[in-house]
Amino acid sequence: MAVHKLILDDVFDEVSHTLIAIHCSIDDYRLAYLLNKHLGISLARKQADIDVNVDQSAYSIFEWKDEKQLTTWNLVSNTCKTEVHQPNTGKSLFDLQEKITRISHLIPEHRAVNYFLKIDNEFSTNKEKYILQSILSIPKVATAFSVDINKLKSKENLIF
């Protein structure tokens, strides 16, 4: 019997991506508004969040498809806070269930990053620097920097 072998190429090898990490303390909808204002884009909240089945977490996502340049811009949250009820130990009659806030990350290698801006088109170095400087000019943004997607261990979480 003949053996057939399928080779699956990585999705990120086919399409070029630019990934920018953003540190800030504002809500996702405010950041999307400020990015729209400073970059001249039109990010809008998608109806469905990104669900990760491993730890039952959901991450907010904003998207804009630029038809002129054939690019897709995605702003995605890196943190998800969920409340989990700790099971009752049964040691006492008056034990109450405790609520524990569990924080999970879409990209665990960058725990300090609040948001990622993924652009599905590789820009020239000058265009990427312009985007970074525009993001850094937003008063509520602490810092922003480019991330090499190929060096991430959990880059499959960025496929959406």
For the segment 87-101, what is each residue's pLDDT rounded down to a tens digit?
666 666 566 667 778
User: Which pair of tokens denotes residue 121?
Assistant: 């088109």
Residue 11 is predicted with a pLDDT of 44
Q: What are phi and psi of 66, to 5 degrees?
A: -90, 105
Asked if residue 128 has pLDDT above 50, the reply is yes
Q: Which residue has the higher pLDDT, 10 or 81?
A: 81
For residue 145, what pLDDT band results from cuts at 50, 70 and 90?
very high
Residue 37 is predicted with a pLDDT of 94
Sign of CA dihedral 24, 28, 34, 38: positive
118-139: average pLDDT? 87
For residue 12, what pLDDT band results from cuts at 50, 70 and 90?
very low
Angstrom distance (rounded) from CA 151 to CA 160: 19
Q: Count CB atoms within 10 A of the CB of residue 28.
A: 19
- Residues 34-78 have pLDDT tens digits of 999 999 999 999 988 877 766 678 889 999 998 888 889 999 999
Residue type, 137: S
Tell me the percentage of the chain whose pLDDT exceeds 70: 80
Residue 65 is predicted with a pLDDT of 92
